[in-house]
Amino acid sequence: MPSKQSEAVRRRWEAARLAMAGEGEAPDDESWGDLTAEPRGVDYLEAEVAGRPAMWLVPKGSRTDRVILCLHGGGFVGGSIYTHRKMFAHLAKSTGARALLVGYRLLSEGGGYPVPVDEAEAAYRWLLEQGTEPGHIAFAGDSVGGWLAITVQLRARADGLPLPAAALLMSPVSDLEVSGESYDTNSGTDPLFQRDFVRELMRGFLGAAGDPRDPLASPLHADLAGLGPLYIQVGGDETLLDDARRLDEHARKAGVDARLDVFPGMLHTFQMAAGRAPEADDAIRAMATWLRPKLGL
């Protein structure tokens, strides 16, 4: 049974659904970060990386030569380095490494496809140019940030860049056609992310001429061979469950070392309740435990 603390995630998604139906006020974007408790013992240093706002998350005593490159979710219409700083700081602290949380332009700022991929790849290239070894870098992302954690690797590979050591994906978007069966089977348990809503987000992001089956835009249609290990987490009650399952299956068929954990009763990006909900804390610890040896920690 989901913990009382984890229900805060459900309440936020329910409030967003009611606002879309004209039955209440939409929760403001910045309050999204209120789901997460302060991890404490972490310094936040704002920076500019490859022309975009970014933030270093530096836990006390962490290794400075290991970096988790973090990419926030928000459906390309919301989210920021501020909404997600605490959640990714929990991950950095548990891992014992610095994290670099990078902002990318949203749709309202002209951030349609492929702009976020361009800007996230530029941040990865910047890290490499600073002398960070690719084997000392991991990608992490939630929702569309998880999508970026895969598509940026595909772009980097096409551009001849070395690939990172590993990637952590939380409730990742992998199917831009929005065709998963779990949109039907979990429609009664997921309060917000119904098929029509997600399809509208993806169409808005891709644009009228965009192809949801483009291998550089859709991980499910891409050749994933050669990518580093992937750890995927997803909520058992969310409609994007099949995005995670199908990505895991597709990666394994390509020879990628992939792990999938389904958290019963949890919703989309439940890890945002880190420091408050035990399920989120368990998820963060599991990611850190998996990641440390991949980074040589």
Instruction: Write out the catalytic residue numbers.
Output: 143, 238, 268
Q: Which two tokens stand for residue 36?
A: 């997460």
Quote the Cα angle for 29-35-41, to 5°.
110
- Rounded to whole angstroms, the Cα distance separating 222 from 102 reads 24
| Alpha-carbon gap, residue 210 to 212, rounded angstroms | 6
Is residue 274 a contact partner of residue 37, using CB atoms and an 8 Å limit?
A: yes
Contact present, 65 and 127 (Cβ < 8 Å): no
Question: CA–CA distance from 125 to each of 41, 277, 291 (Å)?
Answer: 29, 35, 21
Here the tokens at position 201 are 């987000």
- Would you call 28 exposed, middle or buried from its count of C-beta atoms within 10 A (0-12, 13-18, 19+)? exposed
Q: By the 8 A CB rule, do 238 and 266 touch?
A: yes
